[in-house]
Amino acid sequence: MERTLILLKPDAVQRGLVGQVLSRFEAKGLKIVAMKLMKITPELAAKHYEAHREKKFYPGLVKFMTSSPVVALALEGIDAIKVCRNLMGATFGADAAPGTIRGDFGISRSYNLVHGSDSPDAAAKELKLFFPEGIVDYGYAAHDWIYDPVEELKKQ
């Protein structure tokens, strides 16, 4: 199982899309292991986006991400990062395929509704930033109906 961070950005929260976006991740079979509504501080934004600090869009990005609450999610599943990024769609809404979150709900080049970790290393770092208290570990009965049991995978 892999874990990833998903942020439902201020535009998703302000447009009332949290439930619709969250339901797509759940319907796909991803397990929620942490979730909170929070306001990102400028300090947290600076840590999270430090790789972009020298880029011209950085000040606007920090201003946007600190402008309103976000919903932070830790999701778990097989290939969770790849699955989430496919569900999210291309970065810019106008380029995103119909059926993806950004393709169905976004059009802007600046407001793109969701953030998702892009690698296991990034996910580990981001999850620590947004969930320093840790995640909730629990049995998820739906996995028996989403994934083949290990024994079945070994037989194939």
| HSE of 29, CA atoms in CB hemisphere, 13 A | 15
**Active-site position among 48, 52, 115, 143:** 115
Residue 51 tokens read as: 């790789």
Amino acid at 51: A
Amino acid at 26: E
In whole angstroms, give the CA distance from residue 118 to residue 71: 18
Contact 38, 103 (CB under 8 A): no
115 noted as active-site residue: yes
Residues annotated as catalytic are 115
